[in-house]
Amino acid sequence: MKTVTKLLSILLLAIMVLPLVQAQVAVNSFSLYPQKVVPGGQTSIDLTLENVGDVTVENVLVTMDLSQVPFVPVESSNEKIIEKIKHDDTEKVNFKVKALPDAKPSVYKIPVVISADGASKTSLISIEVAATAHLDLLLDKSEVVKINDHGKVTLKFVNDGLAQVKNLKITLQESPLYDITSPNVLYIGEVDMGDFETEDFTIIPKAKDPILSVNVEYRDDANNLFKESKLIKIPVYTEDEAKQLGLVPPKSMLYPILGVLVVVVLVFIYFRRKKKKKNAL
């Protein structure tokens, strides 16, 4: 009786331990191509699974849990089945995922759940969403028309990249092509993706079509610092060109005509008085 009980205990223990032994399949390594993914972009994930147990494991279910991360599977589901993995052997499985267009730049941990024979094990892999910040400079409008005009120039700073622009500071550089009569350093701060900000500088152009030199300094979501020098041409004409193009209103002839009339009247009055004095003698 004692022998039977002992055998049953051993058998029960074996039944309890067997799934745990067989469940010793885990992610040995993984690789991504590309290694970083942009918002809206795709990456291919190769998982290498290793069976460190003592027996061959069959019907291994591999599931990528994407419920808490900004990724969706493409070309297949988030589950794959491996028919068998021999002990001390490895097998590879591939997933393709796409980052959502609004995914924020960050490193995301993705649980990989491996299930076999009623037991499961969770491993973690990571994918980095990296977005390049980019700022474009455009001329919004200009009050200056001809050389030596004094007026505002409105510049537009457009975030056409895939990351938020932070701590934006702009500096209009001095140049012999123009004089700056307003503060030449301005702080904008944040510019969201697909958005823009405008700022005014007051200048006096000293040459035709002066090129403004603007230094921009900003950081992206990963706190990387960007320093760029951008050039923007301002259309400025000579006096004659501005007149020919109709950009300068013609001078009114009213005042010259009035001036001539005043002179004529004064001359008339002068000679009339002179004539009266002569007749009085």
Cα–Cα distance for residue pair 137/244, rounded to 1 Å? 30
pLDDT digits 0-9 by tens, 54-99: 888 889 999 999 999 999 999 889 999 999 898 889 999 999 999 9
- Overall domain count for the chain: 2
DSSP state of 237: B
Tens of pLDDT, residue by residue over 135-169, are 999 999 999 999 999 999 999 999 998 888 999 99
* 3 state DSSP class of 255: helix
Does residue 112 lie in a domain region? yes
Choose one of 77, 96, 129: the last residue of a domain: 129
Q: Identify whether 175 is part of a domain.
A: yes
Asked if 196 and 121 sit in the same domain, the reply is: no
Pair (110, 159) in one structural domain: no
Following DSSP, what letter does each residue of 140-164 receive, concatenated? EEE---BTT--EEEEEEEEE-SSS-
- In-domain check, residue 266: no
Closest CA to 111 of 68, 60, 52: 68
Do both 118 and 161 map to the same domain? no
Range of the domain at 41: 24-129
Q: Do 168 and 117 belong together in one domain?
A: no
Instruction: Tell me whether residue 222 is in a domain.
Output: yes
Q: What's the pTM value of the predicted model, to 2 decimals?
A: 0.62
d(CA 246, CA 207): 19
Out of 97, 129, 161, pick the residue that ends a domain. Answer: 129
**Same domain assignment for residues 234 and 139:** yes
pLDDT band per the 50, 70, 90 thresholds, residue 31 = very high
Asked if residue 250 belongs to a domain, the reply is no
